[in-house]
């Protein structure tokens, strides 16, 4: 058996401490932002029945056909899948626990998603999303709220150069008309269709519009437009969303080719895109999915949501020079001698009782070498304890960012340190 060190699975990344500080800052900011709009947190399992994603995302989609980590539970034969996205699980949980009984819901979740894609910059096999779902709201105001809230988040995070693309997918009847026209259109060019398109021609022709194949672009550009099939209600809904966005000075571009890669959408769909991340430029995407609740077995209820890719957002922020914030540390506790070391552990706990952040030196060493570590720790001060200090129930306090060192009685130590941190 090989003895070489094991590596993480390709496309599944470790987030090391030098980067995790930025993640924590991002997560705190996002949480404040979500609370400012009244969204409540929900947490779903990472693993769901495979049938859930097939039914929600659609059997003839890239995600379900090619990208899911699906497996059979070796103990009971259940067909399970690592979640490739959160909307299906969120709707399943809402229905299972009857959360829509009497009240609409504004919900959010955060966490890992899994898709077996070809890894490259901005595209991973394990990635993180922050997802936002509103269930039970029928009007265009919730679509607009979600887009406006994204714009606010970009401002909070200092994210520049993202553009909003918008489209409407209409409702079931108009989609059916459009679907029929697409089939008739593509049937004329059977010899130009690639393998994916040929396979999808009758099962899901809308997906052909989503193709990345350069050889198909011209054909796709000339395909019948859904816009031409929309009924009056869907048009009115879309116009109302746009009117609200204009009131909020949110610039957008209507992209009739924006169809999204999951089948559950109808009416408003949107993507926030940047040109600064190469090919993986969509940092956030979503839209309305009024049919999904019924499709998963619930009483019909309108819904709308979006998810952002955390890795992509952080990559944008890092490009703009955003760095891992330093570890917030108030005290580095230096100690030497048997009495002193036992006393130091008590002092450290007492300081933490006073809400200070304390790193207790471990592993011995001379005062000099410990002080070197204290200097480079980023702490506001060092608290130094030798056996003499321990015997006198006092410590030496040394400010590390300027100021005189001196002896301090334990009773007033926390207060003195707090004065330094202000
Ligand atoms: P999605 O467009 O598949 O939508 O994913 C949303 C976002 O997740 C993308 O815009 C991107 O930023 C990020 N993302 C997707 N795949 C990867 C990947 N392989 N590596 C890194 N980031 C990735 C959904 O998942 C829907 N559930 C969104 C939604 C919520 N619609 C309604 N509610």
Residues 147 and 236 in one domain: yes
Annotated binding site: 85-87, 115, 129, 133, 260, 264-265
Is the domain of 31 the same as that of 108? yes
Q: Kindly tell me if the per-residue pLDDT of 259 is higher than 90.
A: no
With a cut of 80, say whether residue 2 has pLDDT above it: no
Instruction: Give the CATH number, domain containing residue 123.
Output: 3.30.930.10
Decide: 261 in ligand 1 pocket, CB within 6 A. yes
Is residue 215 a part of any domain in this protein? no
Is residue 6, in this structure, part of any structural domain at all? no
Residue of minimum CA distance from atom 2 in ligand 1:
285
Judge whether 24 lies within some domain. Answer: yes
Ligand 1 close to Cβ of residue 86 (< 6 A): yes
Q: Domain check: are 99 and 122 in the same one?
A: yes
Residue 84 Cα, ligand 1 centroid: separation in angstroms?
9
**Rounded distance, CA 306 to CA 272, Å?**
10
| Residue 307 CB less than 6 A away from ligand 1 | yes
Residue 352 inside a domain? The answer is yes
Q: CA-CA distances (angstroms) from residue 295 to 58, 100, 167, 220, 240?
A: 11, 15, 23, 29, 26
**Same domain (yes/no): 280, 385:** no
Judgement on whether residues 309 and 356 belong to the same structural domain of the protein? no
Q: By percentage, how much of the chain surpasses pLDDT 90?
A: 85
Structural domain includes residue 92? yes
Please indicate, yes or no, whether residues 38 and 148 belong to a single structural domain of this protein.
yes
For ligand 1, whether the C-beta of 133 sits within 6 Å is yes
* Total domains in the fold of the chain: 2
Residues 387 and 295 in one domain: no
Q: Are residues 292 and 374 in the same domain?
A: no
Query: Do 413 and 280 belong to one domain?
Result: no
pLDDT score of 105 more than 80: yes
Best substitution site from 48, 62, 85 to test ligand 1's pocket, by max atoms within 8 Å of Cβ?
85
In the sheet that holds 266-273, the strands lie side by side as 40-41, 105-114, 126-135, 303-309, 282-288, 266-273, 163-168, 253-254
Picking from 62-66, 150-154, 202-206, 271-275, which range would have the lowest pLDDT averaged per residue? Answer: 202-206
Q: Are residues 130 and 270 in the same domain?
A: yes
| CATH code of 372's domain | 3.40.50.800
pTM here is 0.92
pLDDT band at 1 (very low <50, low <70, confident <90, very high): low
Within-domain flag for 163 = yes
For the stretch 277-320, pLDDT in tens is 888 899 999 999 999 999 999 999 999 999 999 999 999 999 98
What is the domain extent for residue 396?
A: 331-421
Out of 289, 319, 349, pick the residue that ends a domain: 319
In a domain, 122, yes or no: yes
Q: How far apart are CA 377 and CA 417, in angstroms?
A: 16
On whether residue 186 sits in a domain, the answer given is no
**348 and 381 together in one domain:** yes
Nearest ligand 1 atom to alpha carbon 260:
2
Same domain for 285 and 356, yes or no, is no
């Amino acid at each position: 058996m090989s003895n070489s060190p094991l590596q993480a699975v390709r496309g599944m990344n470790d987030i090391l401490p030098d980067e995790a500080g930025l993640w924590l800052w991002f997560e705190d900011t996002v949480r404040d932002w979500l609370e400012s709009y009244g969204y409540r947190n929900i947490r779903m399992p990472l693993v769901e029945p495979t049938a859930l994603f097939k039914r929600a995302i659609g059997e003839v989609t890239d995600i379900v056909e090619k990208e899911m980590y699906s497996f059979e539970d070796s103990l009971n034969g259940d067909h399970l899948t690592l979640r490739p996205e959160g909307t299906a699980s969120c709707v399943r949980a809402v229905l299972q626990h009857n959360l829509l009984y009497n009240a609409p819901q504004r919900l959010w979740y955060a966490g890992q998603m899994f898709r077996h894609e070809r890894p490259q910059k901005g595209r991973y096999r394990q990635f993180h999303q922050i997802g936002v779902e509103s269930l039970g709201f029928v009007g265009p105001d919730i679509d607009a709220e979600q887009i406006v809230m994204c714009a606010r988040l970009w401002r909070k995070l200092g994210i520049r150069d993202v553009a909003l693309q918008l489209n409407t997918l209409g409702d079931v009847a108009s989609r059916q008309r459009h679907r029929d026209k697409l089939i008739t259109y593509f049937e004329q060019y059977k010899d130009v269709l690639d393998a994916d398109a040929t396979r999808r021609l009758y099962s899901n022709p809308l997906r052909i519009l989503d193709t990345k194949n350069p050889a198909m672009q011209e054909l796709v550009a000339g395909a019948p437009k859904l816009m031409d099939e929309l009924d009056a209600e869907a048009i009115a809904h879309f116009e109302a969303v746009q009117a609200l966005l204009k009131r909020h000075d949110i610039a957008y571009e209507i992209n009739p080719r924006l169809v999204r890669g999951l089948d559950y959408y109808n009416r408003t769909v949107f993507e926030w895109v940047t040109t600064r991340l190469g090919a993986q430029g969509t940092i956030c995407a979503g839209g309305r999915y009024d049919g999904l609740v019924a499709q998963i077995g619930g009483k019909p209820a309108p819904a709308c949501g979006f998810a952002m890719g955390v890795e992509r957002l952080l990559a944008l922020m890092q490009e703009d020079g955003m760095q891992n914030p330093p570890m917030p540390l108030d005290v580095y506790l230096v100690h030497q001698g048997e009495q002193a070391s036992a006393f130091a552990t008590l002092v450290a706990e007492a300081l933490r009782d006073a809400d200070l952040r304390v790193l207790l030196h471990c592993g011995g060493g001379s005062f000099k070498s410990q002080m070197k570590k204290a200097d480079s720790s980023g702490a506001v001060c060092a608290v130094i304890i030798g056996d003499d200090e321990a015997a006198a129930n006092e410590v030496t306090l040394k400010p590390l960012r300027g100021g005189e060192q001196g002896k301090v009685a334990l009773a007033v130590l926390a207060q003195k340190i707090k004065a330094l941190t202000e």
